[in-house]
Amino acid sequence: MKGLKTILDKQYEQWNHINFIENDPIVIPHQFSAKEDIEIAAFFTALIAWGNRKSIIKSAESLMQLMEQQPHQFITQHQVKDLKAFDRFVHRTFNSTDLISLIGFIKTLYADWGGLEHGFSMHLNPKDQTIEKALIGFKQLYLNSDYHVKRTEKHLSSPLSGSACKRLNMYLRWMVREDEKGIDFGLWKSIQTHQLVCPLDVHVIRQAQKLQLIKTDKSNWNNAIELTKALKKYCKTDPVKYDFALFGLGILEAQQKQSHQTLELSIHKLGKKFTKH
């Protein structure tokens, strides 16, 4: 246990660094300074965060441009005619229908529910061990809203369906966590860091399983909770900080694999060269 904590802490220190920002989708909300602009930019960036990171950043930048680089003002003050500009927006399976639906929903959150933070935190109490109720309650707000569209439901995942809720867990990490490195924002004080759940993507799953932090490779809510509980053994108050460590171990493994493949290719080419002679 002590040895594994040393590994996790070392990787955390290496990757929880200001230089991490420029190549990660979190670079988009870091372009803003006002709380509301940051949380809106982060929300939409997180929702489209699948695929390679360059394409995510490119799509999120395009979306911010469509909002005239003033996401809070646009969300709260736009007119129906202003939404025409979003007709051609698409990122993977997230399209303009989803976007327009969620723009309307977020507008109602600021008008009727005190904004995005309260839209999540209103469903929690300080004794809750995780953000499960926040995720369930937030989706229910959407389902009950006038802007609900059936096809858009899948973009707001919920533990009730067994989903790992990777993108929303990542979003909440961005908003809630705070440390001296300044990557995560720490803007939301109504949710506690120890309540966060680790975002569970394929790379994190692979590394967590290798380290015997989880038993299976399933991307589901139970596994996300199991991993978070395991990480609390190494940092009870801020277990999700090790998301950086597991990410870093995944990058290291990918680099080693690439290096090995490059070496094999060089040897193969060299062998062919000598065969010709």
Q: CA–CA separation, 272 vs 277, rounded Å?
A: 9
| pLDDT reported for residue 267 | 44
- Measured between alpha carbons, how far is 159 from 236 in angstroms, rounded to an integer? 22
Which whole number is the average pLDDT over 63-69? Answer: 97
pLDDT tens digits for range 89-112: 999 999 999 999 999 999 999 999
Model pLDDT, residue 1: 63
212: left (phi over 0), alpha (psi -120 to 50) or beta: left
Residues 175, 169: Cα–Cα separation, whole Å: 10
**Residue 276 confidence (pLDDT) above 80:** no
Contact 59, 91 (CB under 8 A): yes
User: Which residue type occupies 275?
Assistant: T
**Domain locations along the chain:** 2-276
For the stretch 166-189, pLDDT in tens is 999 999 999 999 988 899 999 999
pLDDT at position 254 is 72
* Alpha-carbon distance values, 142 to 70, 177, 204 (Å): 23, 25, 29
pLDDT range class, residue 250, cuts 50, 70, 90:
confident
**What pLDDT is stored for residue 80 in this prediction?**
93
Mean local confidence (pLDDT), 53-79: 97
Position 146 pLDDT exceeds 90? yes
CA distances to 4, 52, 136, 201 from 178, rounded to whole Å, are 23, 26, 24, 22
d(CA 261, CA 228): 34
Is 153 in a helix, a strand, or coil?
helix
Alpha carbons 274 and 138: distance in angstroms, whole number: 65
* b/e per residue 74-88 (b: at least 16 CB within 10 A): bbbebeeeebeebee
Q: Is 91 helix (H, G, I), strand (E, B) or coil?
A: strand
Distance (Å, rounded) from C-alpha 254 to C-alpha 256?
A: 5
33: Cβ–Cβ under 8 A, 6 or more apart, which residues?
none
In this prediction the pTM is 0.91
